[in-house]
């Protein structure tokens, strides 16, 4: 393919991305200006906050695919939610919906027959309904208690046919509502961890002390500042041990760290004479540490920033509780060896 053709395709892709970004930016600008758009979001948020059951999300075609993701986002942020296909709902899946639930119905045109039919049934059943649609005058908007209008959106598709920019804006609205609801409910990182115990997100939110293999009082001795390198090696003994020595003062507070690499360099430089070296002369003073309440993601960030293999974990008084080895993080697959 010629350079000219490649350049044209790159320009086309850039224009498509810009069209989708523009759809979201226009909506954000209208909401930021206040008025009817902002009020619609706040009223919808009020309804969501009062929802005592599940949030039912429904849409047809591409809007349905977006709806499934919106439902998953709400659920991950603490609001029980399920996606119900509008056609399936009319053929038995209405049994999934209870009176205390609330429905978020998606259709850019606002005239999708299956979604309109579902809105009518839910109205008869007394289920609160919110429409995300093109305008407030659509059939779906009029069939719902509240509506969020996306406005006129030109699709990224050159034919202005394939749902692209409109579904991007629809997804952004769903995400914004989910995040705003989580904010209202004071949803914390601990709450998020309970919803995401697996995968990289869950791993990063685990307390670092849960994954530390070397713990003071169990399999990790602390060395007194008055000791020598020979005494440190004797204390370490044989077999598996941490990749660094933690040195403490008379009060038991961490004052230094001596890594295996430090020991090797010292022995290479001084030979057998290195064994009589005082720990205070060869340790790294005031090493960076992790607090006892640190999370795995905090440890990953420090390991990457400092390019170190060991990080002491200390309590509020500066007394060591354990030593995080980079291999602890490798085992969790949150960093690479």
pLDDT digits (tens, 9 = 90+) for 151-177: 999 999 888 889 999 999 999 999 999
The pLDDT confidence band at residue 148, using thresholds 50, 70 and 90, is very high
The pLDDT confidence band at residue 326, using thresholds 50, 70 and 90, is confident
Report the alpha-carbon distance of residue 58 to residue 82 in Å, rounded: 9
The pLDDT confidence band at residue 193, using thresholds 50, 70 and 90, is low
The domains found in the chain, sorted by start residue, are 3-187 (3.40.50.10490), 208-332 (3.10.580.10)
Residue 123 has pLDDT above 80, yes or no: yes
Report the alpha-carbon distance of residue 289 to residue 149 in Å, rounded: 50
Are the C-beta atoms of residues 150 and 27 closer than 8 Å to each other?
A: yes
Report the alpha-carbon distance of residue 313 to residue 322 in Å, rounded: 5
E strand map for 12-127? 55-59, 81-83, 102-106
The pLDDT confidence band at residue 327, using thresholds 50, 70 and 90, is confident
**Sign of CA pseudo-dihedral 174, 175, 176, 180:** positive
What is the average per-residue pLDDT within 106-122? 96
| 70 conformational bin, left if phi > 0, alpha if psi -120 to 50, beta if neither | alpha
CA dihedral 79, 83, 89, 95 (to 10 degrees): -40
- pLDDT for 238 equals 54
Higher pLDDT, 223 or 66: 66
> In Å, how far from its chain's centre is CA 184?
18
What average pLDDT is seen over the chain?
Answer: 89
Collapsing DSSP to helix, strand or coil, 157 comes out as coil
What is the average per-residue pLDDT within 295-324? 90
Whole-model pTM? 0.69
Sheet hosting strand 102-106, strand order edge to edge:
81-83, 55-59, 102-106, 128-133, 146-149
- CB-based contacts of 258, cutoff 8 Å, min separation 6: 223, 229, 232, 244, 245, 247, 279, 282, 283, 284
Report the alpha-carbon distance of residue 133 to residue 148 in Å, rounded: 6
What is the average per-residue pLDDT within 15-26? 95
Residue 239 has pLDDT above 70, yes or no: no
- CB-based contacts of 143, cutoff 8 Å, min separation 6: 116, 119, 120, 123, 129, 131
What is the average per-residue pLDDT within 225-243? 76
């Amino acid at each position: 393919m010629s350079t000219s053709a490649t350049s044209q395709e790159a320009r086309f892709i850039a224009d498509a991305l810009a069209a989708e970004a523009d759809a979201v930016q226009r909506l954000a600008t209208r909401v930021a200006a206040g008025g009817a758009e902002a009020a619609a979001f706040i009223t919808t948020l009020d309804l969501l906050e009062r929802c005592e059951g599940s949030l039912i999300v429904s849409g047809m075609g591409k809007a349905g695919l977006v709806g499934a993701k919106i439902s998953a986002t709400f659920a991950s942020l603490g609001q029980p939610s399920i996606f119900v296909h509008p056609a399936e709902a009319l053929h038995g899946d209405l049994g999934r919906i209870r009176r205390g639930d609330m429905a978020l119905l998606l259709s850019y045109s606002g005239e999708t027959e299956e979604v309109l039919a579902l809105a009518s049934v839910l109205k008869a059943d007394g289920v609160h309904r919110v429409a995300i649609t093109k305008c407030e005058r659509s059939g779906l908007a009029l069939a719902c208690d509240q509506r969020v209008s996306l406005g006129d959106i030109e699709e990224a598709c050159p034919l202005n046919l394939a749902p692209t920019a409109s579904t991007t804006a629809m997804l952004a609205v769903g995400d914004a509502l989910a995040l705003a609801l989580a904010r209202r409910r004071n949803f914390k990182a601990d709450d998020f961890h309970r919803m995401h115990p697996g995968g990289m997100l869950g791993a990063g939110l685990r307390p670092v002390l849960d994954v530390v293999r070397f713990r003071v009082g169990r399999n990790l001795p602390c060395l007194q500042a008055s000791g020598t390198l020979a005494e440190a090696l004797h204390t370490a003994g044989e077999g598996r041990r941490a990749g660094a020595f933690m040195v403490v003062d008379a009060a038991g507070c961490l004052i230094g760290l001596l890594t295996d690499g430090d020991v090797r360099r010292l022995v290479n430089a001084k030979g057998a004479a290195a064994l009589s070296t005082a720990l205070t002369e060869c340790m790294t003073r005031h090493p960076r540490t992790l607090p006892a309440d640190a999370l795995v993601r905090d440890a990953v960030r420090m390991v990457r920033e400092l390019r170190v293999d060991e990080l002491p974990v200390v309590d509020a008084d500066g007394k060591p509780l354990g030593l995080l080895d980079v291999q602890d993080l490798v085992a969790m697959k949150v960093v690479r060896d």
